[in-house]
Amino acid sequence: MPGSDVTATHCPYCALQCGMEIGPELVVSPRTDIPANASGALCQKGWTAGELLVNGARLTTPLLHGEPVEWEVALDHVAARLAAIRAEHGPDAVAVFGGGGLTNEKAYQLGKFARVALGTSQIDYNGRFCMSSAAAASIRAFGMDRGLPFPVTDLDDADVVLLAGANVAETMPPLVRHLTGPRLIVVDPRRTQTARLAWLHLQPTPGTDLALALGLAHLAVAEELVDEAYVAARTVGFDDVRTSLASWWPERVERITGVPVHQMRQAVRALAAARNAYVLTGRGAEQHAKGTDTVTAFINLALALGLPGRMGSGYGCLTGQGNGQGGREHGQKADQLPGYRKIDDPAAREHVAAVWGIPAADIPGPGRSAYELLDALGTPDGPRALLLFGSNPVVSAPASEHVAARLGALDLLVTCDVVLSETAALADVVFPVTQWAEETGTMTNLEGRVLLRRRAVPPPAGVRSDLEVIAALARRLGPRSESATEFAPEFATDPAEVFDELRRAGAGGPADYSGITYERIVAETGVFWPCPAPGHPGTPRPFLDSFATPDGRARFVPVQHRPPAEETDADYPVHLSTGRVLAHYQSGAQTRRIAPLVRAAPEPYVELHPDLAERLGIAAGDMVRVTSRRGQSKAVARISDAIRRDTVFMPFHWEGANRLTNPALDPVSRMPEFKVCAVRVERDS
Ligand code: SF4
């Protein structure tokens, strides 16, 4: 246990939510009681997290049109403008955009604020850009989405792990310590730091992972590697999938993906021969206009081999953002209510409305998904005002120049932020808010383990929490004129009180936190949901006995490959793929302000193969212009044979990469196609 001058808490960044202690002088050190990083590991983002708390760029005064103002002035202005816009254009003229880094308490309160105080259906969050297609595929196959439906420590005993589109050596390095035992099969168009650790690296053309998964499953059938007993006992629908796989013979898949047949055979034979094996997906497989079907194809492969729901084996999605898992459970998503319930489920509406003290009819229906919401801002039928919490879409949204233009067309843009991010710089009003170690709240990590991120230091003077901003605005807005409810529902500001309400609102849903308390989280170093009652032990492996479908069996779903939404042509002859680097996190709003991280990765770059560079007359260090149908961006050239000859790579932590990316949406999850588009690459003379 830490001493009295040391606070046990968790990292501000990614979904591994490494345990850390914050001591005097804000020195950060790893905890050894949190299994994900019990080995004492943190990545360089974690080690330097204390600097976030004393950063000179910190906002401490509300800004109204760029000028510092008193809190009451800013709150009164926003409430008056929201009321006027609502009165003139209706409740859906006001939109809310949340984030996958917000605590569970904030995600819950934001959903309630949108539906109860504003009465708007227009709420979604940046997690839609993160793993929504894996979530949709998991719900389709297993009846429930819980990132990894097993503790990360289960990976320690695996014999083989197939990682599709996840560069964990850079995005969450401590996880690599759980992957040193198994044979790693990495699917990635680049020879990433993770691929360098692999026993086998499959390097497909960007946008062809779905074909590759179909080819692997075809081989499993052709070589009689299917676990027929498991398929018969625990699944339905395999016959249709078996039929649908017939045309994905390996030579055809090699032509589409560029992955040699013998490598596909090696991969599927290793997976089938393993006693314990896992198939894991990350953003590389998921961020596509066919992301749900791509993940479904990998799940079909895992089911055919008999992996999900077996001790020591399984399928899982490696969630990215700090609270990417909890952020999708408590109601900040356009189509969901707390407890990971569907917003159009009558029973869920009745249950949640009773907790909120309003008639179920007052809860609006589903709204627009994240990109569709951003795309509609300021249009005749779209929202006129946007409240943004913990998100920086000017850097992180696809077609980001278009998104910035839409933000500029609003009557009112309000952001809650810690620093003046690129998006906050465009806002009419900026509220300076507390950050991770300045406030207490729960986070649900990539395993579905609910953790307590504790306050370690007081916030700077002038700063308030997002919960206080929500409550202050709700108080000013008062009862909704169009609602039958004549009182303004209360919005608590104490995280523990909000958590208690969240548990009641989510009770009975898939993500049931009823039995979880702050005290239990501390005593048990986290509790896995579902945990439906006080004495319940929590559920580390929810699919061991049965899946969360009506009959308890997993669903095979037939899917077919299709090309990316945008293919290369004479004008845009090269694929662009995007991703992360070790030193930075998401849009970089935090990490680009931390000196050691900036020294480690000071600027954006374009990675290209030596052969492509030679053909284009580009040398290492040259300034390169990359152009897509949506915009242009410049960055320094890095020459590397780790990337395919037909592809360039750009990290997305800076403005630039997402000016180019394609907002084509997955029809099921509404995930944009971040991971592949067509570009032209030129030396910038
Ligand atoms: Fe751990 Fe992720 Fe934080 Fe790095 S960024 S220390 S991997 S939680």
Q: Which atom of ligand 1 is nearest to the CA of 14?
A: 2
Give pLDDT tens digits for 413-428: 999 999 999 999 999 9
**Which residue's CA is the closest to the ligand 1 atom numbered 1?**
18
Q: Tell me the C-alpha distance between 128 and 132, whole Å.
A: 5
Give pLDDT tens digits for 429-475: 999 999 999 999 999 999 999 999 999 999 999 999 999 999 999 99
Enumerate the domain spans of the chain.
Answer: 7-54, 63-129+323-528, 132-320, 574-683
Residue 253 alpha carbon to ligand 1 centre in Å: 36
Give pLDDT tens digits for 167-223: 999 999 999 999 998 999 999 999 999 999 999 999 999 999 999 999 999 999 999
Tokens 């950063």 sit at which residue? 55
Which has more pLDDT, 486 or 664? 664
The average pLDDT across 253-278 equals 98
Close Cβ partners of 596 (under 8 Å, ≥ 6 residues apart): 44, 48, 51
Strand ranges in 295-343 using DSSP code E only, listed in sequence order: 314-317, 336-337, 341-342
Give pLDDT tens digits for 533-577: 999 999 999 999 999 999 999 999 999 999 999 999 999 999 999
pLDDT confidence tier of residue 643, bands split at 50, 70 and 90: very high
Residue among 636, 628, 629, 648 at smallest CA distance from 578: 648
Ligand 1 pocket, residue 18 CB under 6 Å:
yes
The CATH code of the domain at 574-683 is 2.40.40.20
* Torsion (CA) 102, 107, 109, 110 in degrees, nearest 10: 90
Ligand 1 pocket, residue 219 CB under 6 Å:
no
Angle at 366 between CA 363 and CA 372, to 5 degrees: 140
Ligand 1 pocket, residue 17 CB under 6 Å:
yes
Residue 444 alpha carbon to ligand 1 centre in Å: 14
CB 400 within 8 Å of CB 393:
yes
Kindly write down the DSSP assignment for every residue of 65-101, as one continuous string.
Answer: TTEE--HHHHHHHHHHHHHHHHHHH-GGGEEEEE-TT
Give Cα separations from 345 to 76, 104, 445, 467 (angstroms). Answer: 36, 22, 27, 27
Residue 14 alpha carbon to ligand 1 centre in Å: 5
CB 654 within 8 Å of CB 588:
yes
Close Cβ partners of 238 (under 8 Å, ≥ 6 residues apart): 226, 231, 303, 304, 556
**Which residue's CA is the closest to the ligand 1 atom numbered 2?**
14
pLDDT exceeds cutoff 70 at 47: yes
Tokens linked to 169: 């050596």
Tokens linked to 68: 């510092």
Q: What is the CA 647 to chain-centroid distance, rounded?
A: 24
Q: What is the pTM of this model?
A: 0.96
The topology under which CATH files domain 132-320 is Dimethylsulfoxide Reductase; domain 2 (3.40.228)
Close Cβ partners of 554 (under 8 Å, ≥ 6 residues apart): 141, 142, 234, 235, 236, 303, 308, 309, 543, 547
- Long-range contacts of range 616-624, CB-CB < 8 Å, 24 or more positions apart? 616/681, 616/682, 616/683, 617/683, 618/681, 618/683, 622/683, 622/684, 623/683, 623/684, 624/681, 624/682, 624/683, 624/684
Instruction: Give the pLDDT score at 490.
Output: 84
From 11, 443, 451, 580, the mutation candidate for ligand 1 (largest count of ligand atoms within 8 A of CB) is 11
Average pLDDT of the chain to the nearest whole number: 96
CB 168 within 8 Å of CB 177:
no
Residue 20 pairs in a beta bridge with 9, 30
Determine what percent of the chain is predicted with pLDDT higher than 90: 95
Give pLDDT tens digits for 486-535: 667 789 999 999 999 999 999 999 999 999 999 999 999 999 999 999 99
pLDDT confidence tier of residue 4, bands split at 50, 70 and 90: low
pLDDT exceeds cutoff 80 at 632: yes
At 132 the three-state DSSP class reads: helix
Ligand 1 pocket, residue 385 CB under 6 Å:
no
- Annotate 196-231 with b (16+ C-beta within 10 A) or e (fewer): ebbebbbbbbbbbbbbbbbbbbbbbbeeebbbeebb
Instruction: Give the pLDDT score at 2.
Output: 45
Q: What is the CA 304 to chain-centroid distance, rounded?
A: 27
Q: Tell me the C-alpha distance between 36 and 176, whole Å.
A: 10
Q: Tell me the C-alpha distance between 203 and 643, whole Å.
A: 9
**Which residue's CA is the closest to the ligand 1 atom numbered 6?**
46
First-to-last C-alpha distance (Å) of the chain = 59
Ligand 1 pocket, residue 174 CB under 6 Å:
yes
Residue 590 alpha carbon to ligand 1 centre in Å: 14
Close Cβ partners of 149 (under 8 Å, ≥ 6 residues apart): 142, 308, 309, 314, 315, 316, 448, 541, 542, 543
Q: Which atom of ligand 1 is nearest to the CA of 37?
A: 1
Q: Is 386 exposed, middle or buried (0-12, 13-18, 19+ CB in 10 A)?
A: buried
Q: Which atom of ligand 1 is nearest to the CA of 585?
A: 5
**DSSP conformational letter for 459:** P
Determine what percent of the chain is predicted with pLDDT higher than 70: 99
Choices 3.30.360.10, 3.30.750.24, 3.40.190.10, 3.40.50.740: CATH for 63-129+323-528: 3.40.50.740
Instruction: Give the pLDDT score at 24.
Output: 85
Give Cα separations from 671 to 208, 412, 665 (angstroms). Answer: 16, 26, 5
The average pLDDT across 381-390 equals 97
Ligand 1 pocket, residue 129 CB under 6 Å:
no
At 480 the three-state DSSP class reads: coil
pLDDT exceeds cutoff 80 at 3: no
Ligand 1 pocket, residue 43 CB under 6 Å:
yes
Give pLDDT tens digits for 285-303: 999 999 999 999 999 999 9
- Stretch (H or E) spanning 683: strand 677-683
Residue 19 alpha carbon to ligand 1 centre in Å: 9
| 63-129+323-528 and 132-320 in the same fold | no
Q: Which atom of ligand 1 is nearest to the CA of 17?
A: 8
The average pLDDT across 575-596 equals 94
At 315 the three-state DSSP class reads: strand
Query: Edge-to-edge strands of the sheet including 441-444?
Result: 441-444, 449-453, 527-528
pLDDT confidence tier of residue 479, bands split at 50, 70 and 90: confident
Ligand 1 pocket, residue 46 CB under 6 Å:
yes
Interface TM-score (ipTM) > 0.90: yes
The average pLDDT across 109-119 equals 96
Using N-to-C axis directions, what is the helix angle for 209-222 and 250-257, rounded to 10°? 160
φ, ψ at 333 (rounded to 5°): -95, 145
Ligand 1 pocket, residue 20 CB under 6 Å:
no
pLDDT exceeds cutoff 80 at 1: no
| CA torsion through residues 678, 682, 684, 685, sign | negative
The topology under which CATH files domain 7-54 is N-terminal domain of TfIIb (2.20.25)
Ligand 1 pocket, residue 42 CB under 6 Å:
yes
Instruction: Give the pLDDT score at 481.
Output: 74
Tokens linked to 416: 């809650």
Residue 169 alpha carbon to ligand 1 centre in Å: 11
